[in-house]
Amino acid sequence: MREFPSCFGENGVQIADSSSSSTTRAAQNVVTCVYQCKLRGRSCLITVWWTKTLMGQGLSVGIDDLGNHCLCKVEIKPWLFSKRKGSKNLEVQSGKVDIFWDLSCAKFGSGPEPLEGFYLAVVFNKEMVLLLGDLKKEACKKIESDCAFSHCGAVCIAKREHIIGKKFYGAKAQFCDKGQVHDVTIECDTLGPSDPSLVIRIDSKTVMQVKRLKWKFRGNHTILVDGVPVEVFWDVHSWLFGNAMGNAVFMFQTCISNDKMWEGQSVSDPSALTWASSQQFRDSQLQGFGFSLIFYVWKHE
């Protein structure tokens, strides 16, 4: 992962470089989650990077205030057996940040993000700011804090992950914080003799289909998920006209209105489909425009 001066600075989470196969493989093993939290009574963004390497699982935590300053960034390097449980603390502006984690009983799927049997907690001046995982009681006991998870008020506002496949690409997805988990399937065959088409299914139900994909390789369409409008943006240009290392990008955006966020910005602009490298995206999220889920989809030939 590229080092950067600010958690949410210019190109802050630019992970993938299609010209490098090693970087591409590394990008495919990163899941990034952004949470809106309260720090000293004000909103802040906490980013959690879950990583997977040949050495094992790892994670990083970055805290960014409203002034776009990275208050701290803590990297917990990949482990085999020794660092599945622990804590780190550091001094920041007007306070102390403590990070606690326990993944000794964590269960993982095919990706780097744990599914259950874990907790990750961020504490500022003995106040719980973020608490992830299903072992919340164990976390509060370890931290000697009687604050409940509901008191944190942390909300996941954005998530990015990578999917690998040949024709069918599947993933689990929540389109809003604490919402229902859905099965998302993206079907696209660009190698067949016929004109390629794009099909997206939610829980095996077809919610959108794009025909004549060579003419519509970028676009957007609104679908309904759990009764909530979700804007789907896609860019499959690299699949159709790029090199073999290219990836497609899909973004699911739940919001009341996209007008301000996308005003004057084309989906063909790569930065429009990369959150956190765009100040416009960050401001829109803090104003409550909704939740963004981005999939980077890679072909495995």
End-to-end CA, the chain: 25
Asked which of 19-33, 70-84, 197-211 is least confident by mean pLDDT, the reply is 19-33
Length of the chain: 301
pLDDT score, position 43: 82
Residue range 247-278, pLDDT digits in tens: 899 999 886 544 433 333 334 343 344 433 34
The secondary structure of 233-248 as a DSSP string is EEE-HHHHHS-TT-EE
Residue range 7-28, pLDDT digits in tens: 333 322 222 333 445 545 555 6
* Eight-class DSSP state of 267: T
pTM: 0.77
Determine contact, residues 71/45, Cβ cutoff 8 Å. no
pLDDT score, position 68: 63
- Computed on alpha carbons and rounded to an integer, the radius of gyration of the chain in Å comes to 19
